[in-house]
Structure 1
Amino acid sequence: MGTTEPETGVTFDPETDTYHLDHDWRSDESVSAAVVRGVAAVTDTAPTDLEPLFATLDPDALDQLYRSAAGDPGRGDCLVSFSYSDCAVTVAASGRITVRPDAEAGPVSAGVPRGLRDR
C-alpha cells in the first residue's frame, strides 16, 4: 500500500496521494493531538510551529465528538473534514485520520450517515 514512518505512524498511500494515521482510542492521546501530530509529520513541521488547531475548529468539541462516537458502534461512520495548515484533514470515528497536503477541505463539515440522520 505505502510506506509508514515508524516515529509518527503516518502512512503514505501513493494511489490516493494521501497520508493516514490511525488513532488508538485506548491511548491517552486525544484525537485533536493526533491530528496535530499527523499534520506536523506530513508537512515536516514541528507541532509547536503549526498554527493552533483552535484557529480552525474547537479541539475540545472534536475530542468530545469522537469520545462519544468511539463508545457508540452505531456512529462508526461519523466523519469530520476541515482544512488545517494547508492540508485537508478528515477524521473518522474508526480513528483513521487522513491528511492531504496542499489541499483545501473547505469549511468544517461533518458527514453523518443517512441512517443516523433518520434516528
Structure 2
Amino acid sequence: MYYDSASGTYRIWCVEGDYEPVSTAVLVAVASIRGVEPDELEPLPSAVDPDALNSLVEHWHTHDGDAMGSISFTFADCEVTVSADGEIEIDAAAMPVRPRT
C-alpha cells in the first residue's frame, strides 16, 4: 500500500493468486489506514456484500485483463473504489473512524 500525495488517496493492488480475497484486503487496508484493529471497524457487510465483491473481482480476473469497470462504496468513513485492473483506491479524507461499541 502506498499513499498517493497527488490525489490524497491510498492505493493497493489485489492481483490474481493473492492469498486473501479482495474483501479481506479492503478490511485490513482500511483498518491500517485508520490505525485500528479490523474488528474495531463497522462490519464490512454494512457497506458492501463481501461475497458479491469477491465474486465480481474473481469474474474480472477470469477475463484475462479484458474486463473494465469499478465498484465504489463507503466503508468506515472512507470512499473505497475497486477497479477491474486490481487497484483498490481508498480516500480516507472523510471524518475520523468511530469504533464500534
TM range (shorter): 0.7 to 0.9
Which 5+ residue runs of structure 1 have no aligned equivalent?
1-9, 105-119
The answer as to 2:90 corresponding to 1:99 is yes
Q: Which residue of 1 aligns with 2:40?
A: 49
- Cα distance in 2 for partners of 1:54, 1:34 equals 14
- Cα distance in 1 for partners of 2:84, 2:17 equals 13
Letter in 2 for 1:88: E
- Cα distance in 2 for partners of 1:36, 1:46 equals 10
* Structure 1 residue ranges (4+ consecutive) displaced by more than 3 angstroms after TM superposition: none
Give the paired residue count. 94
How far is the alpha carbon of 1:88 from its aligned partner?
A: 0.3
From 15, 27, 30, give the equivalent of 2:18. Answer: 27
Q: Which residue of 2 aligns with 1:39?
A: 30
Which 5+ residue runs of structure 2 have no aligned equivalent?
96-101
From 62, 65, 70, give the equivalent of 2:61. Answer: 70
- Cα distance in 2 for partners of 1:20, 1:55 equals 22
Please say which structure displays the higher CA radius of gyration.
1
Quick one: percent identity of the two aligned structures? 34
Letter in 1 for 2:33: V
How far is the alpha carbon of 1:38 from its aligned partner?
A: 1.1
Q: Does 1 or 2 have the higher relative contact order (CA < 8 Å, sep 6+)? A: 2
- Cα distance in 1 for partners of 2:51, 2:15 equals 17
Q: Which residue of 2 aligns with 1:15?
A: 6
Q: CA RMSD in A?
A: 1.4
How far is the alpha carbon of 1:45 from its aligned partner?
A: 1.3
- Cα distance in 2 for partners of 1:95, 1:25 equals 8
How far is the alpha carbon of 1:25 from its aligned partner?
A: 1.7
